[in-house]
Each structure stands twice: as structure tokens, then as C-alpha cells.
Amino acid sequence: MTVEPPVADRRPVTRIHHGDEVVDDYEWLRDKDDPDVIAYLEAENAYTDAQTAHLETLRGEIFEEIRSRTKETDLSVPVREGGWWYYTRTVEGAQYGIHCRAPLSSEDDWTPPSIADGSGLPGEQVLLDDNVEAEGAEFYSLGSFDVSPDGTRLVWAADTVGDERYTLRIRDLETGQDLPDTVPGTFAGAAFSPEGDAVYYPTVDDAWRPDTIWRHAVGTSGEDDELVFTEPDERYWVGVGVTRSKRYVEIVVGSKITSEVRLLDTRNPDAGFQVVWPREIGVEYTVEHALVGGHDRLLVLHNRGAVDFELLEVDPERPADPAHQRVVLAHQPGRRLEEVSAFARFLTVDYRREGLTRIAVLPLPALAESIDSGALLELTFDEELFSVGTSSNPEWEQPTVRYGYTSFVTPPSVFDYDVTTGVSTLLKQQPVLGDFDPQAYEQSRMWATAADGVSVPVSVVARKGVLGAGPAPLVLYGYGSYEASIDPSFSVARLSLLDRGVAFAIAHVRGGGEMGREWYEHGKTLTKRTTFTDFVSVAEHLVDVGVTASDRLVAQGGSAGGLLMGAVANLAPELFAGILAQVPFVDALTSILDPSLPLTVIEWDEWGDPLHDPEVYAYMKSYTPYENVADLPYPRILATTSLNDTRVLYVEPAKWTARLRTVGAPVLLKTEMSAGHGGVSGRYERWREVAFEYAWMLDVVLPSA
């Protein structure tokens, strides 16, 4: 039986900006309280179910492949903090993690314990079982999790809807019971004060912008919480934390291009929060507290006159005085400094060079004596492509650096680097069950020439023998916004594509950060189209050199990468057999024109301000996917979204789908009715979602799959 696609009602509304009149037939779909809107979304889901019913067996196979390759009962590498090892366990059959801790064997115990079967550690204490807390909820996400410095209390906050508004609670870890303290409507990122007697947390305004920091005294009502700081400028968000040294409470204020840091010295709390550097449009910086030569210093990583950032050491009493500043790591074009972490005896530096992530260590004696970048001890790796970064290093006095490493063919691996000996010790590599053999796959970097002659890096992985044997089916992934880098990484789920002879590639297009800050600058605001044309150039290159062919090429991207998908669908529909657009930002102009919508004003630094600038308006209108749907030979399109998404509202792909239908495009819309921007919650539900998308892509590139 043939099932006809839903046809959305046309209810035209007119908007006028800068003398340009636009009639929008589908803006009515924005009102999710309208029963007609829900009925339309459910009709689209039913149509998608019918159109993909023949893939049910394949979806089941992929789900079982993911599950069979995953060690379901497992244990993360324990992290030392205070007198405990903290870790998360997963249990076969359970959707969520279990957050636990176990006591140290001694004060000198810096070697994390391991249990082969993932069943837990001796003396284990369960702090929070997400499976218990999620019981009865269709969605669950943990947004805050922080243990007090004395280890006696836990602040945690969960979202059970998907709108990223979390109810904050405080748990007594001696009794395992939550205190009466309950604060609804918080944002993620609550943290205990260094003294442990209070919790700092952010809340959002009506436009879903984190704008206010509060101080909650443990054991009191949320109604009595102290307003610590609020940011009235709608371009800026706020966050709160504590330095690793526990010396300062830190409030970070930031826009897409500007930041400001305020510090509260715990040794002089009556002085209140002090600004490190007053905000200056276009200047971004972060701050770390360090002890250099026995003296308190602030390390400021900034881009003032340094496009790829430099590191300064400044006097905390006079941080903005040039006479009390010293360059630690000078700006080097092409070496994008991304993060600096200070410890009692050394610093770590995360950065990018030649399109790959890097990490290095700088001992504090070298910092005190020299500002030569040659003092950096960069860790080296053997693979052509990889991703590496420091993580899970909470202790000020620790003698080691924890870092993660992965590639397309190497599962995520956790190492401890001994700063004294220079030796890295592998603590754990993600198990991949079954017959997985990394030698059966190959990864490589290619370069495509963009329309303006710039070389665009492309990372490719495939099973050996697939590339070079004629055009292969291929999934080409792209993002290209916010200076976010899509680095090579391992995926258990992706093996289900690779083992069926499908190659996977990442187009590192401008707008991302893979090649440094200028790579980002050349793909935003009034150069945003470069992101789209770079992706098209990469696709053309892969076809021209015979890696793939247009009839077996699928493009994939999500969120701002979904905008990329919609744009290339209009620019070069003939290049692709299919396009998977996940939570796609496809009605960007409508959204960015409305300051009342979530995050709009914050986004003006990324896309431009079309509300007040006619040039930006015209430019955005020239590429926004919804505005540019035309009578074109569109490939098969699958758009996915979530009803409670607060970042990219469901209405964008809903409107896009409705308009695509008017020109006969073969489009499907799948809406999760109880999820947020990240999709469904729970690992098994996520695997089913991946299986759905992979089965659809395989049906496009391998119709016989």
C-alpha cells in the first residue's frame, strides 16, 4: 500500500525587514502547544516509519552489532580527588551510568586501580545511580555533578524533559540521602565553594541564556539564595567554577568573540569578585592560577594582538598592568593555543598544529627561568591522524598528567604521563569485543582545493581494500562553525558502516578550528558561504579522484552542521545520493532575526546581526536553506529533530521539510517527542537511533544492504 506524505497547511504570515517582504507559509508550526502542530509531527513520524519499514531487519542487525562490540558492564579509569578514587560504572542492561568512589590505599597512592570485569572496587560507595534517578522518565540528563572538597556532600542536577533546565539537589554522602535543598530551573555547571559550605550555580533568562550566578548556602531554602552576578548584555553568557588550586572562585563572562573573568580570592573574600581584564570587544582570554617561584601568579591565555593566542604571566594584584606581565609562550602563527592547565609543579598546554591536536608539558622551573617555547615537552605519537587532549586532572599536587588519545582505528585510550620520567602509561583502552582488528582498517589525510585555491584537509577511514578498488560508497561528515574542530576519532558504531564496505570522511571546512583561528574567521559572518563551498569542493574532489561517486555519496551533519547540509543540498544537489541532517539549523535567518528566541543575540557574533544590518540580512538570506528551497533534483533527505530542543528548535526542520515537499523533494522527518538537542537519552536508545540513521544511509549507498 502506498502511503502519501503529509502535507502541511499553508497559513501565510508576512515579515518585512530592510524593505524586503517575505511570506512564510509554515511559521505556524512554531507553536508546539497547538494540537495541529503535534498532529503534523506525528503524521511525519508515521510516514517516516512507513517509508523505512523495509529497513527494520537491518536496523536490528546494526543495533546488535553495536551491542555485541560493546563491553556493557565496564568501569571508567578512576580519577583521584581528595582521599578517593572517583569513577563511573556501566552494567549490562542498564541505560545509564552509576557514579561511584572508593578510598585510596594511602596518601602516596597515585596509580589508579583497575578491575577487569568492571564490577567495582573494594570499599565502593555509590554516589548517584542515574538508572534509579531516571526511573519513570522518558528522558534523563545529568547537568551538574560536584563533590564538596571534604568529600561529604554531592551537588547534582538532572533534566528529565530535554530542555536543559536542571533541578539542583544536594546529597549527604554519609547517609546517601538528599538534603531538603532543592533548586529548580538551574543551568548545568554547579560547583561547590572551596570551603564546601555553599554551591554556586547559573540560571538562564527567557532566551535560554545563562545570565546569572547564585550562591546557595548548604542546608537553606533556594528562596534565600544570594544573587552573586548577573550579566544584562544579551550577547554574553556566564559560567562559574573553582581553580584547581582552590584559591579562587571564577566567574567567566563570554560572547562568541569576547570574554571577561572575575575572581574571588578565598583568602580575601570580603573584597568580592575582581575583574582580571575588563572586557574588550574581540579579545578572548582564560585564566589559571599558578605558583611560580613560590609566588602567586595568574596565567592569561589571550588573543589580544595574537590571532592564534599567546600565554602571559601576570601579577594577580595588578593583572592589567603591562609592567607586571611577562610572555610565557609567544604567539606563533599556525600554532593555536587552546588550553593551559596549572598544577603545583608543572603546566600542561593543549594546542593545534598542522591540523592536529597536540599536548605538551612545561615544568614550573622552566617557566620561572625561561620563556623559550623550546622548553615545551611535546608528546609524540606514531599515527598519521589522531586526536589527543588532557582531561580528568583535578588534583593540584598530582605528579602525573592524564590524557586521552584516539584515532579512526585506535579505540579511545587513557594514559598517565609521569612528568618526572617522561613515560606514558596506558591505563585503559576502550574494549571492542568480537573480531575487531585495527590492522583491518586504514586512515589517511587528503587535501581538496577549494574554489578560492585554499587547500582543505580531508580525513578518511575505510576497511583495507575498499579505497582504490573503484568508487566506494562513502559518508562525508561536516560541521564548520564556532571554531569547533571535528577531529579523527574512533567509533564502535561506525564499524557497522566500514565493515559493509562504506568509507567515512570528515571535511575539515572553514568555520571550524582545525587549521587555527583564521580558518574559523574565514568561515563566519560575511564569509559563511565559504563553509558550504569548501564542503562542495571536498565532495567534488572525492568524486574526481575516484574515491567515491555521486550515486554512492551521503552527506551528514548536525546542528550548525545541519545548516551546512541544507546549504549544500541547494548548492549542489546532484553531488549526493543522500543527505542526513541531524537537528539542522535550516531556518537560520528567521531565528537570528528574532531576539526573543533562545540564544539569538548571542549568535549574532557568529552569523552577523540581520535584524539591524541590511548587508547581513541579504547575505544570510542568500544561503539559509529554508529560504532557498527551489525546484531542484534534491537527493534523498532524512531530517531528525527533537520536540524539546532548546538550541535548534524542532520548527526549523519541520518548516524545511514542509517546503521541500512542495517541490517534490524525497524528504523524511523524524521527531523525537521527548528529547532535546542531543537526541534521546540512555545508551540503548542512542544505539537504536544510530542504527536507524545508519540503516537509512546504507539504503541510500548500498540499496541491496
- HSE-CB of 408 using CA atoms within 13 angstroms: 26
Q: Are 462 and 505 in contact (CB under 8 A)?
A: no
Q: How deeply is 694 buried, as exposed, middle or buried, from its count of CB atoms within 10 A (0-12, 13-18, 19+)?
A: buried
User: Is 435 a known active-site residue?
Assistant: no
- Report residue 250 as a C-alpha cell: 571564577
Residue 45: CB atoms within 10 Å? 17
The pLDDT of 28-51, averaged and rounded, is 96
**Active-site residue among 416, 645, 681, 699?**
645
Number of other residues whose CB lies within 10 A of the CB of residue 458: 22
Per-residue confidence band for 201, with pLDDT thresholds at 50, 70 and 90: very high
Question: Tens of pLDDT along 174-199?
Answer: 999 999 999 999 999 999 999 999 99
Q: What is the predicted pLDDT for the residue at 189?
A: 96
Tell me which of 65-69, 364-368, 514-518 is least confident. Answer: 364-368
pLDDT over 80 at 558, yes or no: yes
Q: Three-state SS for 62?
A: helix
Q: Which amino acid is at 251?
A: I
Name the helix (H) or strand (E) containing 275.
Answer: strand 274-275
Give the pLDDT of residue 2: 67
For residues 353-373, give the mean pLDDT.
84
SS3 string, 648-689, reads CCCHHHHHHHHHHHHCCCCEEEEEECCCECCECCCHHHHHHH
Residue 704 pLDDT greater than 70, yes or no: no
Q: The pTM is what? A: 0.94
Q: Give the model confidence (pLDDT) of 99-123 as tens digits.
A: 999 999 999 999 999 776 767 788 9
Active site residue 331: no
* Residue 99: active-site member: no
Given a cut of 70, is residue 1 above it in pLDDT?
A: no
Q: Which residues, in sequence order, are CB contacts of 278 under 8 Å at separation 6+?
A: 260, 320
Q: What is the pLDDT of residue 106?
A: 92
CA distances to 69, 349, 367, 403, 693 from 687, in Å: 12, 35, 47, 27, 10
Running DSSP on this structure, what letter comes out for residue 467? T
Tell me what pLDDT residue 372 has.
64
What's the mean pLDDT when you consider all of the chain? 95
pLDDT tens digits, one per residue of 233-242 = 999 999 999 9
Mean pLDDT of the 338-357 span: 96
State pLDDT tens for residues 126-148: 999 999 999 999 889 999 999 99
Sign of torsion over alpha carbons 435, 437, 441, 445: positive
Average pLDDT over residues 3-32: 96
Separation between Cα atoms, residue 552 and residue 504, nearest integer Å? 12
pLDDT band at 373 (very low <50, low <70, confident <90, very high): low
Sign of the C-alpha dihedral computed for residues 621, 624, 627 and 629 taken in this order: positive
Catalytic residue among 99, 508, 541, 677: 677
> How far is it between the farthest Cα atoms of the chain?
79
Dist. CA 48–CA 644, nearest whole Å: 20
pLDDT, tens digit (0-9, with 9 covering 90-100), for 264-291? 999 999 999 999 999 999 999 999 999 9
pLDDT band, very low/low/confident/very high, at 371 (cuts 50, 70, 90): low
Q: List b or e across 430-441, with b for residues whose CB sees 16 or more CB atoms inside 10 angstroms.
A: eebeeeeeeeeb
Measured CA to CA, the distance from residue 507 to residue 456 in angstroms comes to 8
Catalytically annotated residue among 559, 591, 642, 681: 559
SS3 state at 341: strand
Q: What pLDDT sits at residue 117? A: 72
Residue 245 has pLDDT above 90, yes or no: yes
Average pLDDT over residues 486-505: 98
Is 680's pLDDT higher than 70?
no
The per-residue pLDDT for range 383-435, each reduced to its tens digit, is: 999 999 999 999 999 999 999 999 999 999 999 999 999 999 999 999 999 99
Cα separation values, 66 from 63, 72, 98, 643, Å? 5, 10, 21, 26
Per DSSP, 307 falls in state T
- pLDDT band at residue 162 using 50, 70 and 90 as cut-offs: confident
